[in-house]
Structure 1
Amino acid sequence: MEATPLNGDDGAIHPDTHTSLFLPSPVLADCVCAYMVRDTLDAQLSPKQSLSHLPVSPLVNISWAIHCDGPGMHGGECHSLARGAVLRGPRTQPTVWESFGPAYVFTLTVFPDAFHALTQLNVANFLDQTQDLQTALDQDWQKMADAVLMAIDDLARIQIIEVFLTHRWLSVRAQKPASPPPEGLSLFNAWVDAVALRASASTLGQSTRQRERLVKGQLGLPMRALRGLVRMESTLTRGHESNAFGAPSLVDVAHDMGFSDQAHFSREVKRFSGLSPTELQRAIETQESYWPYRLRQALKAR
């Protein structure tokens, strides 16, 4: 029997939307995860297609609406992207962004420990939050954000960001051990291991509560919760090999990702995405609003 479309025909992938990604320069590989672009200017989207289902993520994002015909709605709050940018912290739960018009959005994604080192801000304060950049970051970041907004194209935007970040990041790295760039931009395992090792070294002599507070301020989450989030992010954006209609079974996927059994795997996927594993894979393959998952699969493929 043929499956019924998950969200109806008007939620299907639209042929006139475009997403793309760019990787950072090698010197910023342990600071910046990637630059991402979402372009819907030439697409007439239905209300369902105008949604963006955002996967859980340990990353900090800064998003600019280069062109935008309306504000966006996130977590029940309206955020205007017509001017400036918004800052999103790490996400630990299913999140939906609703756009009220065609838009061209450019996004910088940064590892949370790098964001903390660059800004000295407590990442836990941004957990599951979206804030206007003008109120969240200082004037140097605001000037950079304004320059990105006025740049002529994406390559110019990347150059502005990399010039801004490179000397700052080199200064930060001179004061602490460098983390190796993660092997695969979806799994983050090498990054998490490096962060855990550095956290252990930097908190020697501290009480357990002090260590947890320091780590949470740098990463947004306690280390154990961060490892769980990274595992789930890797699972939710795993790609075609976790397709329940194809090759490996859900039992194989659950085992490969470290879950105790298929039931545990299915419960966790539903808790973090709102859908069962088969429903999620189907949504990724057929629904426009799940474009962030498809883009993260592309990141992993890189």
Structure 2
Amino acid sequence: MITLFMPDALHALTQLRATDLVDRFVDASAVLPPDWLAMCQQVQDALDDAQRLHVMEEFLEPRWQQCRPSQASLQHRYSDWVAHLTQRAAVSAPGRSLRQVERRIKQWAGLPLRELRIMGRSEEAFYASTTQAAQTADKPDWAQIAADMGYSDQSHLIRTTRRITGFTPEALGKGIQQHESFWAYRLWM
């Protein structure tokens, strides 16, 4: 069982900084507070997935209600989350220069603003390709999608997607549809 948190939510819930966890595997007992470790043990000891989910919900719900932002973003896409994060960083503390905002974002999210925007644009391109494929029942027109999403050309889109995921957009789409190992990408669909 895996639980995913957006970096700012993880920080709000645990005070862990995403920058300390990027590109690393870390033992939970080394970083999580004691009450989180107790919850992890309860999840492990649960008899079935329904009970595991119940334990996690009972643990997380009151904590999230206590620390959640007063005005949550209504958007559900990555680029909208980045825009919301940028807005929060700009008004959250003294020092509102662009560099200070970028430092806050990197501290909260674990990645620089530029990289987050690149990932958001890639996600938008992927959504556009799945929407186009569903509407036309053909292969996506990658050149048109690249132009619509602000890439310099189709190869720019392909290089960026390959850098982020390790796959071309075409291979990523096929993998999501056909292979169980691509389950993490399905979470965003």
TM-score by length of 2: 0.82
Structure 1: where are the runs of 5+ without partners? 1-105
Query: Match of 2:86?
Result: 196
Query: Match of 2:153?
Result: 261
Contact 1:242 1:253 in 2 (8 A): no
- What value does the CA root-mean-square deviation take over the aligned residues? 2.6
Q: SS of the counterpart of 1:109?
A: coil
Q: Which string of whole-angstrom CA distances, capped at 9 and with x for unpartnered residues, describes residues 6-42 of structure 1? A: xxxxxxxxxxxxxxxxxxxxxxxxxxxxxxxxxxxxx
Mean Cα displacement is larger for which, 125-134 or 158-167? Answer: 158-167
Q: Per-residue deviation at 1:237?
A: 6.9
Query: Match of 1:84?
Result: none
2:124 and 2:32 map into 1 onto residues whose CA distance is 29
In the superposition, relative to structure 1, how do residues 208 and 188 fare at CA in structure 2: closer, same or farther (>3 Å)? closer
Contact 2:85 2:105 in 1 (8 A): no
1:129 and 1:242 map into 2 onto residues whose CA distance is 36
Query: Match of 2:57?
Result: 162
Q: Per-residue deviation at 1:285?
A: 3.5
Q: Which has the higher contact order (CA 8 A, sep 6+)?
A: 1
Name which of 161, 174, 183 aligns with 1:291.
Answer: 183
2:127 and 2:182 map into 1 onto residues whose CA distance is 11
In the superposition, relative to structure 1, how do residues 150 and 258 fare at CA in structure 2: closer, same or farther (>3 Å)? farther
Residue type at the aligned position of 2:42:
A
Structure 2: where are the runs of 5+ without partners? none
Q: Per-residue deviation at 1:126?
A: 0.7
Is residue 24 of structure 2 the alignment partner of residue 134 of structure 1? no
Q: Per-residue deviation at 1:160?
A: 1.4
Q: Which string of whole-angstrom CA distances, capped at 9 and with x for unpartnered residues, describes residues 156-210 of structure 1? A: 222211221222222213xx53322433xxx323322222211111134355544
Query: Match of 2:164?
Result: 272
Q: Per-residue deviation at 1:232?
A: 2.5
2:126 and 2:140 map into 1 onto residues whose CA distance is 15
Q: SS of the counterpart of 2:66?
A: helix
In the superposition, relative to structure 1, how do residues 280 and 116 fare at CA in structure 2: closer, same or farther (>3 Å)? same
Is residue 70 of structure 2 the alignment partner of residue 177 of structure 1? yes
In the superposition, relative to structure 1, how do residues 164 and 266 fare at CA in structure 2: closer, same or farther (>3 Å)? same
Residue type at the aligned position of 2:12:
A
Alignment of 1:68-87 (within 5 A): none
In the superposition, relative to structure 1, how do residues 181 and 278 fare at CA in structure 2: closer, same or farther (>3 Å)? same
Mean Cα displacement is larger for which, 283-292 or 198-207? Answer: 283-292
In the superposition, relative to structure 1, how do residues 128 and 204 fare at CA in structure 2: closer, same or farther (>3 Å)? same
More strand by share: 1
Identity %: 35
Residue type at the aligned position of 2:167:
L
More helix by share: 2
The alignment of Structure 1 onto Structure 2 pairs a total of residues equal to: 186
Residue type at the aligned position of 1:125:
D
Alignment of 1:9-158 (within 5 A): 106-158=1-53
In the superposition, relative to structure 1, how do residues 152 and 181 fare at CA in structure 2: closer, same or farther (>3 Å)? farther
Name which of 220, 229, 249 aligns with 2:119.
Answer: 229
In the superposition, relative to structure 1, how do residues 233 and 129 fare at CA in structure 2: closer, same or farther (>3 Å)? farther
